[in-house]
Amino acid sequence: MLASEKRLVGWHMVVAIVALFVGSLFGPMQGLEHAGVDMYTPLQDAGLLQSYYQGLSLHGVLNALIWTTFFITGFLTLVTVNSLQTPIRFPWLSWAAFGTMVVGLLVAAVPLLLNQASVLYTFYPPMQAPWYYYLGLVVFVVGSWMTGWSLIATYMKWHGENKGKTAPLLALASIITVVLWQVCTLGVAVEILALIMPWTLNILPGIDSELARTFFWFTGHPLVYFWLLPAYISWYGMMPKQVGGKLFSMPLAYLAFWLFLVLSTPVGFHHQYVDPGVPDFWKWAHALLTYGVFFPSLLTAFNVIASLEIGGRANGGKGVLGWIPKLPWGNPSVAAQLLAMIVFAFGGIGGLINASYNVNLVVHNTAWVPGHFHTTVGTGVTLTFMGILYWMVPYLTGRKLWNPRLAVAQAWTWAIGVVVFSTAMHRLGLLGAPRRTMLGAAIEAYGSNDWRIWTILTATGGIIMFVALVMFIAVVVMTAFRSKERVEVQMPVAEAYEQPLAIPAWLSNWRPWLAATIVLVLLSYGPILVQMIANVQLVSPGFRVW
Amino acid sequence: MIHVDTYEKWWIAISVAVVAIFFATITISSAAMGYQLPYSAQLVNPNTVATTGTFAEPGLRELAPGKYEAVIRAGAKPWVFTPNELKVPVGSQVTFIVTSQDVQHGFLVENTNVNAMLLPGRVTTLTHTFNTPGTYHYLCTEYCGLGHQYMFGTITVE
């Protein structure tokens, strides 16, 4: 990878890590509020933060959207270039993409910081932020598309020079991820450009919140896979190498990524099971497809664990489970990702519960849901990204990782924190505590005393996670600026266990998979969207309720 | 075709079977056992819902012995459900008919399966039979502004 390309990726990581840090500042404050300790009044008095919900909006946007997207666009650039051994085809496009994302972020940050956009990261209409908040979000997403275009152009160039060759898993999976992002973000683009922006500018008389929600969740669920697939890229394509193993089944790894492309988008109604305006048949059809997307996840579970087992046995592990302690737990990159996988397994089970149609009635919009997604995007993804950074920062800077033992301790601290936090939040949800709510205040108003112990554990877990975050920041900052020892690090690339390796043509051909993606989207959304648009109710004016 | 390891074949078969059984279970529970999701084709105008039509006179109505209809309006600024107190005898079947007059809200009745979104312009309908006496709170589960955490009502079952 060229020095200029490393610089490009490095800048992505700088913005991502700053966003993660700033967004995470609110986490312990939210937990403490639940436990009855108010940190907001002094901040209000100082004029720094107007409300819990302004803080929650910043927490969601910075951690779920900005940290993830900047990390992912930078990481996929690194993976594609290294995997194809081809420089970026149009470096100016990648830099322009980065610049566009930063501009979008800055434009959206202004109303967020001025308490004009305390609408949380879902910005459900008819709550209304100023038009330029939504414009900032659109510009940000367009920037992320441009990174995708740059990577696709690079892949096409490689393809032209390597006729008949199958692209390596790492590169193909990266391109699948950016293509998925192009397809699925059409929903939120339509929501903002066709509904929200004209409504904020008084061109439309009102807004239909059910239709807006439907476009939002068209993007909202595949967004989850946009976060997750880069973690899977590392688990499938890098981790086996890092633990001294091999990728157990290379063809099934290709298959899993293709299935994620096809099945990630036509499932959005599983976020709208309890919406009044979506007919049951469509909810049921999306439930079926959501169960479908569980299949590649199960393929992944087997394949990744089998690959790790090969490594553990190569290191001398014996017996059914004896290979597990033989994995290189002392390597912080490995430890972080193994712990991320373990926590994520529970996130997957919880996700199946959420997705189970009428079972959703038990948990919908309760504290269970943030409990769930801190095990998925908050750990399965975030702790994996931290683990990746433990080799990526040395790779980019040429400096040896500072204090690897602290980094290992960081991963364990995060995992312990999230287990405490998420267990408590799941319990609160089952007790009926709502999500996105000042639970400390709600307990005083109507909540049950049974909630109290779990709110204290929520605060405890959140604080432990924040301590782990500070440890993470210390390790990466010290590595980048203080580490003296120079190192040459390579991107880990897993080899296939099966030799000779044969990837059949149907696993390297885009046409059937792209066609299936488009057909499934049209079938699962087409008829109901036509019906909803034909009966559109542009009635709601904008509200500012914060 | 591709080579698939024997253990992995078993794993795939079991995975598919488990998922199929789960899906059959939820489909049957919904189609035959009454665990249904809220859907209503009814549309209302959220801007006039407080002054005209069904929701202008919210409250509890007895439709038949032991069968009630609770018409409820949700609003922000102030953050309240109207009405916020209901009283029914033990064993009553209550159909909640709820809408929002402004932003999105949620509606969850503690210790029941009543849990749904309230959207302006739409009507949310869910039914529950209260067989256990006690006090049940109903609360807003969707962020709806600064007073969201104070938005609740009480059902007394006696």
Residue with tokens 């976020």: A271
A504/B1 CB distance under 8 A? yes
B8/A364 CB distance under 8 A? no
B145/A545 CB distance under 8 A? yes
Half-sphere exposure of A516 (CA within 13 A, CB side): 13
**What's the pLDDT score for residue B35?**
87
Check: CB of residue A180 under 8 Å from CB of residue A222. Answer: yes
Residue with tokens 């078969």: B13
Residue A463 dihedral angles phi and psi, to the nearest 5°: -70, -40
For residue A86, which of A169, A7, A170, A154 has the smallest C-alpha distance? A154
- Residue B1's pLDDT band, with cuts at 50, 70 and 90, is confident
Helix (H, G, I), strand (E, B) or coil at A253: helix
Q: H-type helices in A162-277, by residue range?
A: 169-184, 186-190, 197-200, 209-237, 239-242, 250-263
Nearest-by-CA chain A residue for B10: A302
Half-sphere exposure of A281 (CA within 13 A, CB side): 5
CA distances in angstroms from A20 to A17, A25, A537, listed in the order given: 5, 9, 38
Q: Is A435 a catalytic residue?
A: yes
For residue A256, which of A223, A275, A232, A224 has the smallest C-alpha distance? A232
**What's the pLDDT score for residue A164?**
87
**What's the pLDDT score for residue A522?**
97
For residue A224, which of A190, A283, A271 has the smallest C-alpha distance? A271
Q: What is the full per-residue pLDDT of chain A (546 aa) written as tens digits?
A: 999 999 999 999 999 999 999 999 999 999 999 999 999 999 999 999 999 999 999 999 999 999 999 999 999 999 999 999 999 999 999 999 999 999 999 999 999 999 999 999 999 999 999 999 999 999 999 999 999 999 999 999 999 999 989 999 999 999 999 999 999 999 999 999 999 999 999 999 999 999 999 999 999 999 999 999 999 999 999 999 999 999 999 999 999 999 999 999 999 999 999 999 999 999 999 999 999 998 999 999 999 999 999 999 999 999 999 999 999 999 999 999 999 999 999 999 999 999 999 999 999 999 999 999 999 999 999 999 999 999 999 999 999 999 999 999 999 999 999 999 999 999 999 999 999 999 999 999 999 999 999 999 999 999 999 999 999 999 999 999 999 999 999 999 999 999 888 899 999 999 999 999 999 999 999 999 999 999 999 999 999 999
Buried b (16+ CB within 10 A) or exposed e, A71-93: bbbbbbbbbbbbbbebebbeeeb
**What's the pLDDT score for residue B34?**
84
Check: CB of residue A489 under 8 Å from CB of residue A394. Answer: yes
From the list A373, A390, A395, A466, the catalytic residue is A373
A545/B103 CB distance under 8 A? yes
User: Residue B132 pLDDT more than 90?
Assistant: yes
Q: What residues contact A476, with CB distance under 8 A and at least 6 apart?
A: A17, A389, A393
**What's the pLDDT score for residue A338?**
98
Nearest-by-CA chain A residue for B36: A358
Q: What is the mean pLDDT of residues B85-94?
A: 97
- Chain A residues close to B43, C-beta within 8 Å: 535, 537
For residue A126, whether the previous peptide bond is cis, meaning omega lies within 30 degrees of 0, is yes
**What's the pLDDT score for residue B2?**
83
Record the pTM: 0.97
CA distance B60 to B58: 7
**What's the pLDDT score for residue B3?**
85
Nearest-by-CA chain B residue for A33: B149
Neighbours of B33 (CB within 10 A): 9
Q: What is the mean pLDDT of residues B44-69?
A: 96
A275/B125 CB distance under 8 A? no
Which residue from A213, A302, A543 is facing B8, i.e. has the nearest CB? Answer: A302
Furthest-apart CA pair in chain B: how many Å? Answer: 68
What tens digit of pLDDT does each residue of A409-434 get? 999 999 999 999 999 999 999 999 99
Q: Is A270 a catalytic residue?
A: no
CA distance A406 to A471: 7
User: Going by DSSP bridges, is the β-strand pair B152-157/B59-64 parallel, antiparallel, or unpaired?
Assistant: unpaired
